[in-house]
Amino acid sequence: MPKNSIHFNISERKILLRVLDIVSILAVLYFVGNTFHFDYFTITKENWRWVFVLVLYISVFGTIFELYDLQKSSRLEKISTSIVFTVSTTVLFYFLTPFFTPVLPDNRLQILFFYFSILVALFLWRWAYISFIVSPRFYKRVLIIGETSNIETIFETFKTADPNYKIVGFVNCEKTNKATLRFNAIPEYSPKQIREVIEKETLSEIVVASYSTENITSEIYYTLIKLLEEGFPINEYTQVYEDLTQRVPVQFVGKDFYKYFPFSRNNQNKLYLFFHRLSDVLVSVLGIIIGLVLLPLIIIGNFLGNRGPLLYTQERVGKNGKVFKIIKFRTMVKNAEQDGAVWSTKGDARITPFGKFLRHSRLDEIPQFINILKGEMSLIGPRPERPFFVKELSRMLPFYETRHMVKPGLTGWAQVKTRYGSSVDDSLLKLQYDLYYIKHRGFFLDTNILVKTLSTVIFFRGQ
């Protein structure tokens, strides 16, 4: 077998970004401290706490401001805003916590040294990352084996999910359908050319993307077995899809669905569920207090911009299909659905001017802390849908009812990863993310969702 090309997986690149962000910042600060008259931040054994707090702030605010988004990180013009926001917020918080950090400097020049040292360090390292790591020499080069009907969808999905994932060709695995693929983005090869393509393109792996293993010809089957025995990586499409996109491809799951839904043990883990509920109660109490503080301003805004009832309730489907009434601040005109339930779309004329502000800032969700406190909802989970749409979507989307095996959430994996659902296609995308959460839920993923929710609020992405 030829030597595989060098590539970095998604998890490896995210770790690389985080580690070298810190290394580059500390290296530049150390250099500036030993070259210029800069003594505000010094790296010594005695000052380890200063370093720890700086690393913590960079990691947290970098996540909030999407510094580790691989799509953004592949273009300097896209990641520049995230770098500036991360550095500015980090430096501000660092100066505002002198109990854990150095005492504020008397000389303003020290502040500039500190700020621009971190800024320059991140820009230099990210430029190096884009110039070398994201370059074609480190692409993960892949050959797809599957049905011709799937290839365009697969190509577009992988292209969007990971800029370093390069599909170099396609082999039709079907016994009966020998039609030539009419998709100019990638070439089609015959089964006899598989080994030739591996050597010529220095492939990293082969991905088998077939609805049914019965479709794969015996020639391809024995070729794949031989390659596997020789140590060449061969992976199944749904697992690669899930790793790349962080969602479950329900549209590719058939009668052997049980293979794809080994749901997280945390769904029955008593310790996890206890702390999950405890955090729900604590956060909902805090949220209700914040809501009471903001209530006078919201009442005034509702009076001027909404002109009607402040609150509204609506039936939603909760855990195990149980219906409950969700509470929200009203964002639409009165009698918005007098002709029946309809999807809410972008630029919906029924949303009032003040309602737009409430939605973008996510303030309209504050009353749902009451639902969380009552146990009808959780802080994190699939968003609860209305019974009418649940009935309709359950007929069209496979495994839709599966999202009701956990409590619905105020925020969730689908909410931080995709746009507002206003069609069946959008609902399919959200379902994929919801099932991924149910499958992998745990403390780490919950924390990740909370941090990304802060990004949604800060960047006014609520809808």
C-alpha 430/C-alpha 435 separation (Å) is 9
Q: Which of 195, 213, 211 has the alpha carbon at shortest distance from 203?
A: 195
pLDDT in tens, 204-245: 899 988 776 677 888 888 999 999 999 999 998 888 888 888
Q: Hey, what CATH class is 139-245 in? A: alpha beta
DSSP at 429:
H
Residue ranges of alpha helices (H) inside 246-352 are 270-305
Backbone angles phi, psi at 433, to 5 degrees: -70, -40
Q: What are the two backbone dihedrals, phi and then psi, of residue 405, each rounded to the nearest 5 degrees? A: -80, -10
Q: What would the mean pLDDT of 409-422 be, rounded to a whole number? A: 84
pTM: 0.82
Check residue 125 and give its pLDDT: 96
254, pLDDT greater than 80: no
Per DSSP, the three-state class of 327 is: strand
- Residue 421 confidence (pLDDT): 62
Task: Find out whether 126 and 13 touch, Cβ atoms under 8 Å.
Answer: no
Instruction: For 60-112, write each residue's pLDDT tens digit.
Output: 999 888 899 888 888 899 899 999 999 999 999 999 888 888 888 778 888 89
Pairing mode, strands 188-189 and 234-236: unpaired
For residue 382, pLDDT beyond 90:
yes
Are the C-beta atoms of residues 143 and 170 closer than 8 Å to each other?
yes
User: Which residues touch 172 (CB under 8 Å, ≥6 apart)?
Assistant: 146, 147, 148, 178, 179, 181, 188
CB 207 within 8 A of CB 177: no
Q: How many CB atoms lie within 10 A of CB 227?
A: 17
CA distance 240 to 12: 15
* CB neighbourhood size of 343 (10 A): 13
Q: Per-domain residue ranges for the chain?
A: 10-133, 139-245, 265-336+344-458
Strand 311-317 to strand 323-329: parallel, antiparallel, or no bridges (unpaired)?
antiparallel
Confidence tier at 426 by pLDDT (50, 70, 90): confident
Q: What is the CA radius of gyration of the chain?
A: 26
User: What is the C-alpha separation between 287 and 365, in angstroms, rounded?
Assistant: 10
Pairing relationship of beta strands 205-209 and 409-411 according to DSSP bridges: unpaired
